[in-house]
Structure 1
Amino acid sequence: MKVKPSYSALAAIALIALSSPSGAEPGQEPSDTGSYVPSGYSLVFNDEFNDTQLNRAKWATRYIYANGTLDHLVGEAQVYRDNDNHLMHDGMLSLTARRVGSGYESGMIRSLWEFKPAPDTSYYLEARARMPAGKGVWPAFWLNSGYTSTGRLNWGPEIDIFEFVVDGIEENPPSRPKNMVHSNAITHSGKIPSTTTYTHPNYQRVWNLFRADADLTAGFHTYGLLWTNTEVSFYVDGVLTNTRTYPWIYDSDGTPAGPAHILLNLAIGGDWAGRHGIDDSAFPQALDIDWVRVYSRTAAR
């Protein structure tokens, strides 16, 4: 079972002022919808969220564990529900969190479609999203493994395309400004071998944080992942933030993991997001998702 790491030591880390990023690395200028898909990739899965209701043929609203009913992870303050927590409006999906009684309800989606790269096949994933701004929120866009062909299900490997936290503390500099986003390929104490091969000057390697040149709660931004059989590269608005080697294997025995599913969720609290409390006056809050798209490219043989 996944337990997010404690980030209580982050308050002691002073983040240096960084220059503004520039350049779009995936290979072409953004489209009018904000996509940065590289040339040579073809669309294989998407949801534009233009319907009036969430497409349940594409998405589940709980984790795959506990026979698809798991509604929260260890340490989080919310549970995932379907009580208007997946609002479709204005061509977007709003994963909406509310204070309910003594706790919180929120929304998540898990793709029923699954995939993973092969030696001759790579993928480029994007989501265009607007972050919530209240203290204590924890939105994420990530990949986790599903069942293998033999029915095995384990936690990990895991790729976090973005995680975002606003803790509301006025430090100098702020410990979590609204232009800071986390990305990582989880290595579980080094059991999955991974080597960082590139980091943007605005990327802080100790805690895997990228400082963007905009308030990520003020508008929509595009978060991307280029995923090959041997490495992962992360993007914010087309800017390459970091690249690392990463095999999609189980950390317990090094065997190939099951295919990945896509997760987008709005968690509340926990050791990281809730370390300075939760601002109840900010609710309801929402992670707004304009679209999710996955492209693939198969190398010529």
Structure 2
Amino acid sequence: MHIVTADSLRAVAFLSVLMAAGVVPIAPSRGEAPIIGAELDLSAWTRTFTDDFDTLDISARGPGTRWTAHVPWGGDFGDARFTDPVAGFPFTVSGGTLRIEARKVAGIWRSGLIASVDSKGIGFAQRYGYFEIRARMPSGTGVWPAFWLVGLDRSTTTAEIDVLEYYGAYPDQFKSVAHVWNRQDARSSYSSANRHAAPGATERFNTFGADVEEEWITFYFNRRAVWRTPTKPEHRQPLYVMANLALGGGFPITDTPDPSVLLIDYIHVYAR
């Protein structure tokens, strides 16, 4: 039996006012899926990781720096080589903005990636929480920037969450994906993906985020929920952060602007 109290009536009235204004607050999940279109309120969350890129603390592979410049398990992907940082390339910071540049060097495309742990898993990783980047996308066919999370435990599978996967061929869209790569049997791998509108992605900064919870992964564009997918068991582990400007991704790079630049205002992580 549900007992109506004065407090509950006031709560309903307050929620009605918020919804009339187009704002739907999200409470901590208890297994119920968040509402698509709802606005995320971070006022009750705690910031656990902050990089506003006033400076850049990076090395090729660590240890001891906030970022490393290669995927922790080694190897590159895409049609540009991720490059050890040198003065002025591929990373520069100015006015609180990180610039990741892709350009041809001696006829070979080179670009940059940042990862929050090194090859030994030392660095920042967090189980559950809200992971967010504020960034401005490069323009032109062939650019393939991303903001993504990977689980520390890769013993049998690789748990990956692509918060933002952007293809220059589709300038007003971005893609979000939850992957589980089975390293022993590729046929058992899993992917859940969706595309979302991203108007002005190359013209201004926008935020792209994912709230990883025990039951749901909810994806956000400018802090409004755009999609959710169930959390797989493999994603219920500490996840580290990566961001990069890759090229290709299944699209030709013959007409890719040289140079191409991904601008990142900040990367923040929160916990409830």
Into which bin does the TM-score normalised by the smaller protein fall?
Answer: 0.7 to 0.9
Question: Structure 2 vs 1, CA of residues 248 and 104 (structure 1 numbering), >3 Å: closer, same or farther?
Answer: farther
1:131 equivalent in alignment to 2:137? yes
Which is strand-richer, 1 or 2? 2
Question: Structure 2 vs 1, CA of residues 97 and 269 (structure 1 numbering), >3 Å: closer, same or farther?
Answer: same
Counterparts of 1:49 and 1:227, CA distance in 2? 24
Question: Structure 2 vs 1, CA of residues 164 and 235 (structure 1 numbering), >3 Å: closer, same or farther?
Answer: same
Equivalent residue in structure 2 for 1:182, among 159, 175, 178: 175
Contact 1:145 / 1:157 at 8 angstroms: preserved in 2?
Answer: yes
Contact 1:126 / 1:223 at 8 angstroms: preserved in 2?
Answer: yes
Q: Percent identity?
A: 28
User: 1:185-196 residue pairs with structure 2 within 5 A?
Assistant: 185-188=178-181, 191=188
Cα drift, residue 77 of structure 1: 1.0
Aligned to 1:61: 69
Contact 1:111 / 1:262 at 8 angstroms: preserved in 2?
Answer: yes
Contact 2:157 / 2:180 at 8 angstroms: preserved in 1?
Answer: no
Cα drift, residue 237 of structure 1: 0.5
Equivalent residue in structure 1 for 2:244, among 265, 270, 275: 265
Aligned to 1:220: 205
1:164 equivalent in alignment to 2:166? yes
Counterparts of 2:266 and 2:218, CA distance in 1? 20
Cα drift, residue 134 of structure 1: 1.7
Aligned to 2:47: 43
Equivalent residue in structure 1 for 2:231, among 243, 246, 253: 246
Cα drift, residue 241 of structure 1: 0.9
- TM-score (norm. length: structure 1): 0.67
Further displaced range: 133-142 or 223-232? 223-232
Amino acid of the structure 1 residue aligned with 2:144: W
Counterpart secondary structure, 1:185: strand
CA deviations on 1:24-75 (whole Å, 9 max, x unpaired) are 66659xxxxxx96523210111100012x43552111111114xxx3x12xx
Aligned to 1:80: 82
Counterparts of 2:124 and 2:81, CA distance in 1? 24
Counterparts of 1:126 and 1:289, CA distance in 2? 11
The number of equivalent residue pairs is: 224
Counterparts of 2:105 and 2:231, CA distance in 1? 40
Could you list the runs of 5+ residues in structure 2 that have no partner in the other structure? Answer: 1-20, 28-38, 60-64, 118-122
Counterpart secondary structure, 2:125: coil
Amino acid of the structure 1 residue aligned with 2:262: L
Amino acid of the structure 2 residue aligned with 1:184: V
Question: Structure 2 vs 1, CA of residues 241 and 291 (structure 1 numbering), >3 Å: closer, same or farther?
Answer: same
Contact 2:180 / 2:234 at 8 angstroms: preserved in 1?
Answer: no
CA deviations on 1:261-285 (whole Å, 9 max, x unpaired) are 10000001132xx2x44324x2111
Aligned to 1:115: 125
CA deviations on 1:157-200 (whole Å, 9 max, x unpaired) are 11000010112xxxxxxxx2x21000011145884678x8xxxx
Question: Structure 2 vs 1, CA of residues 140 and 25 (structure 1 numbering), >3 Å: closer, same or farther?
Answer: farther
Amino acid of the structure 2 residue aligned with 1:208: N
Question: Structure 2 vs 1, CA of residues 270 and 192 (structure 1 numbering), >3 Å: closer, same or farther?
Answer: closer
Counterparts of 2:141 and 2:243, CA distance in 1? 19
Aligned to 1:4: none
Question: Structure 2 vs 1, CA of residues 54 and 86 (structure 1 numbering), >3 Å: closer, same or farther?
Answer: farther
Amino acid of the structure 2 residue aligned with 1:179: D
Counterparts of 1:156 and 1:181, CA distance in 2? 22
Counterpart secondary structure, 2:158: coil
1:292 equivalent in alignment to 2:267? yes
- TM-score (norm. length: structure 2): 0.73
Could you list the runs of 5+ residues in structure 1 that have no partner in the other structure? Answer: 1-21, 29-34, 168-175, 197-206, 251-255
Bigger RCO of structures 1 and 2 (CA < 8 A, at least 6 apart): 1
Counterpart secondary structure, 1:186: strand
Counterparts of 1:24 and 1:291, CA distance in 2? 25
Cα drift, residue 116 of structure 1: 3.9
